Amino acid sequence: MDFVEPQIEAYAAEHTTPPEPLLAELAEETRASLRAPQMLTGTIEGRFLELLVHGLAAKRVLELGTYSGYGTLSMAAGLPEGGRIDSCEISEEHAAVARRYLDRAGYADRVTVHVGPALDTIRALEGEFDFVFIDADKGNYVAYYEEVLPRLSAHGLIAADNTLWSGRVVDDSDDSADTRAIREFNKRVTADDRVKSVMLTVRDGITLIRRR
C-alpha cells in the first residue's frame, strides 16, 4: 500500500536537501550487497532524523537497529558539540558496514555501535536519553518502549519507525507476528497516559512520543 502517490513522494524527495556523497555511496552499497535493502532509512527519513536531533540539541541519542548506518550517520550530522550516539545492532555484518562509514565520515569518536541484544545494551548503559530511535525487531517494540520511556530526559523524544507497517496494520487478513506486534505497540502508546504521541505518515510511519 502506498501512503503517498509515487509522483508526490518523488516531488518531496526532490525538495529535500539531497544526501551527501558518502550517504549516497552507503545507500548504493547497502542495496547492492546487504539483505533486506528495504530497511534502508533513505533521504527523507534521514533528513527528518537529522533535523529532530538538531532541533532537540540532543546530546544523548540511542538508536535501536543500526542496519548499515544510514540513519546513524544522519543523526550524527545533527549532534551538538559533545553529543553522542549509542547504536544497537544484532548483526556483526551490518555493524561492520556502519562502523566503516562512520569512520570515513569522521563520526567514530561520537558514535558507538554495540553488537548484541538491544535490551542488554540498554540496561548496561547509564543515564538518560534525549532522543531514542526505535527501528529494530518488531516483536520487542513494546519491551524497548517500556525500557527507554523511564529514562527519557525531560524534553526528550522517542521516534518509533514502521508503525504503519506498509499498511498491514489496517489489513484484517494479516495476522503475522510482526503485524500483531506493531498493532500492539501502537495500541499501547495510544492508551498510555504517561505520554503524548503523534503518528506521522513519513515513509513507513513514524510515531513521535514524549512524556507528559
Q: What is the pLDDT of residues 126-159, one digit of tens each?
A: 999 999 999 999 999 999 999 999 999 999 999 9
Quote the pTM value: 0.95
Residue 1 scores a pLDDT above 60: no
Q: How far apart are CA 136 and CA 118, in angstroms?
A: 9
Going along the chain from its start, the domains and CATH numbers come out as 6-211 (3.40.50.150)
Q: Are 35 and 193 in contact (CB under 8 A)?
A: no
β-pair partners for 133: 63, 159
Residue 13 scores a pLDDT above 80: yes
Q: Residue 3: its pLDDT value, please? A: 67
Q: What is the pLDDT of residues 68-127, one digit of tens each?
A: 999 999 999 999 999 999 999 999 999 999 999 999 999 999 999 999 999 999 999 999
Mean pLDDT of 32-36: 88
Q: What is the pLDDT of residues 152-191, one digit of tens each?
A: 999 999 999 999 998 899 999 999 999 999 999 999 999 9
HSE, side-chain direction, 13 A CA sphere, residue 133: 30
Higher pLDDT, 26 or 4: 26
